[in-house]
Amino acid sequence: MPGQADGIPPRTCWPGSPAYMKMNPERFQDERDERIKSYAHDEELKRSANSFMDNTIRTRYSYNFSWMGRPIIQYPQDIMAMQEIIWSVKPDLIIETGIAHGGSLIFYASMLELIGGDGAVIGIDIDIREHNLREIEKHPMFDRITMIEGSSVDVNVIDEVDAYVQGKKRVLVALDSLHTHDHVLQELELYTPFVTEGSYCVVFDTIVEDMPEIYSSDRPWGRGNNPKTAVREFLTKNDRFVIDREIEDKLLITVAPDGYLKCIKD
């Protein structure tokens, strides 16, 4: 096209243009897939995303958001990814380790409410603060939520979770509690057997491995000792899961690089 800059599509094909809006579903999907694949090789785009992550972690950006009135300490991009996964998998049970203010529990419960049926959420935390407990219990989505106080790797907690899993056909797990290598590896070994084929175990805060050490200097985890190192070790001895690279390529901005683990076999 005369006058068209290299790599820039004709204006008639830009999102929002009449031609783009009339694009048939198959072509729309194909174009989206190709665009996402291209992000994996776009070094300038990845540098921009990494710069954004570095600056927003420093300024506690993930603490700015809420879901249906409860603080949800996640990046909007990861919330969107979880929405897509939940809608696709349609789990009848979601297990989350790490509750904090309960925003993620409310988010998961609200997605299950939209899907319909009897889907439930289990939240596990070693210390469920009284004020958070009260707010979660009075929330309209609480009917779908069960909370267990205790260590996520305690045998009694695992037995209790196992009782809830019985009879469930599609189970999804999100790990977001203590971020040390040993703890996350133990969680992976204990909770991935609950995950059903086609569903996911999502390991949050794998980004710790990629962050400047200063951001985790006051924590028991850091480079070389974090969720990503646990994922790497776990995948060397478990062939039921693979990293879903398409999700990471699509998001660009995520606290869970290498953390979206898809279950590919029973």
- Superfamily of the domain at 39-263: Vaccinia Virus protein VP39 (3.40.50.150)
> What is the per-residue pLDDT for 16?
60
Rounded-to-integer distance, Cα 261 and Cα 231, Å: 9
| 108 band by pLDDT with thresholds 50, 70 and 90 | very high
Rounded-to-integer distance, Cα 189 and Cα 185, Å: 6
Per-domain residue ranges for the chain?
39-263
Q: Contact 164/191 with Cβ under 8 angstroms?
A: no
Please determine, for residue 7, whether its predicted confidence score (pLDDT) is greater than 80: no
Specify the DSSP class assigned to residue 235: H
State how beta strands 93-97 and 70-71 pair.
unpaired
Specify the DSSP class assigned to residue 92: S
- Per-residue pLDDT of 248-264, as tens digits, reads 999 999 999 999 999 99
Q: Average pLDDT, stretch 19-35?
A: 81
- Per-residue pLDDT of 181-198, as tens digits, reads 999 999 999 999 999 999
